[in-house]
Structure formats: C-alpha cells, structure tokens
C-alpha cells in the first residue's frame, strides 16, 4: 500500500505519518531526504529523531538526498521486511525534489526531474510493502518572481499529482487534522 500525506509547512504531516506508521506496522524505516546544512536544520532533525525515539514503533533511519528510487527498490527486494510488518516512511518528497532541482538548475531541470518522477512512479507501482510519502503543498501562495521558484512550485504540484495517482490513499493534513482525500474523490 502506498500512502501520500501532504499539506502545508508545519501542518502536522510528519507527526501524523509517524503515528499512522505505528498503527500499520511493528517496525519502521525512515528515509530522510534533507541534507543538513545549518544549525537550525540540525535542530529540526534532532527534534524529529527525538519524537521517533518515543514512538511505539522502532525506527531505522536512512539518509538519502537523491537516490530515493534506488533505496526503495533495494527495500522492495527484501521480503523479510514485509514479513515482519515493516513500514517505510519517506520524509519528504519536496526536499528530494528541491535537491534534484538545485542539482539540475542549469541543465534541463524540468526534463531531468520528469525522468526522476517517472522512475519513482514505476517504483511505487511495484512496491510490495507499506510506504508512506510525506510531501508539501506549495502552490497556494503567490507566483514566485524568479524562474527557479516558479519551476519549483510547478514541479511540486506536478509531482504531488503524479504521486497521488499511484497512491492507494491520500491524506491532506491541515492544522494537525488529517483528511483522507482519495475516498472523497469526485470523478468525471
């Protein structure tokens, strides 16, 4: 089962994802996509780790800023994980996307990120276990006045749509309240 959990900054997405993981499984693998490049971010990471340490589920952390597809494919091939009730949580797709965007900024960024998203879609379609993906909704604000910001906003929206399409469940978290969207989807 693949679950997308999205919402605004500090909306409670990660906390909900961790609690939901504990409800779904007995062990957890936390894939952290953010590089830690300053003291403030280091403190955020510490608080996230502290919260996971107090969880009912035991967490193993994998730090991977770029090769998310490879990590997920490796985990998918480990049958023992799925037999022991392991849940995989990726936090966060938006940071993974921004890592690639900054890497490719001057070199066909949109095209190359589209390739990464296609690979991720394929990985998700074949994922044998329970996978929770945390992402952000970034398109509710103003249109950025610089190309990199517009590319980021547009790619984030496209990525979230594509990940939602291959997910079994999609939650929007606002003010700490998760709402399941896919069961409420209106189809034309």
How far is it, in rounded angstroms, from Cα 13 to Cα 135? 8
Nearest of 101, 99, 105 to residue 35 by alpha carbon = 99
Which residues are registered as beta bridge partners of 171?
5, 180
Q: Which residues are catalytic?
A: 48
Cα torsion 145, 148, 154, 157: sign: negative
Q: Residues, the chain, total? A: 188
- Whole-model pTM: value is 0.93
More confident residue, 109 or 163: 163
pLDDT of residue 36: 82
pLDDT in tens, 115-169: 999 999 999 999 999 999 999 999 888 889 998 999 999 999 999 999 999 999 9
């Amino acid at each position: 089962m693949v679950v997308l959990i999205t919402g605004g900054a500090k909306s409670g997405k990660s906390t909900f994802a961790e609690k939901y993981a504990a409800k779904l499984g007995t062990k957890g693998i936390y894939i952290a996509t953010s590089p830690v490049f300053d003291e403030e971010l280091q403190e955020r990471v510490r608080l996230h780790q502290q919260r996971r340490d107090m969880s009912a589920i035991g967490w193993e952390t994998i730090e991977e800023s770029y090769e998310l597809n490879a990590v997920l494919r490796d985990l998918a091939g480990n049958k023992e994980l799925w037999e022991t009730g392991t849940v995989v949580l990726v936090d966060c797709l938006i940071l993974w996307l921004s890592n690639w965007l900054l890497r490719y900024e001057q070199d066909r960024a949109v095209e190359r990120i589209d390739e990464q998203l296609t690979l991720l879609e394929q990985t998700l379609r074949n994922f044998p276990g329970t996978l929770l993906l945390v992402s952000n909704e970034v398109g509710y604000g103003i249109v950025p006045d610089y190309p990199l910001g517009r590319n980021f906003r547009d790619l984030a929206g496209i990525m979230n749509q594509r990940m939602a399409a291959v997910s079994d469940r999609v939650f929007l978290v606002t003010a700490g309240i998760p709402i399941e969207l896919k069961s409420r989807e209106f189809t034309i």
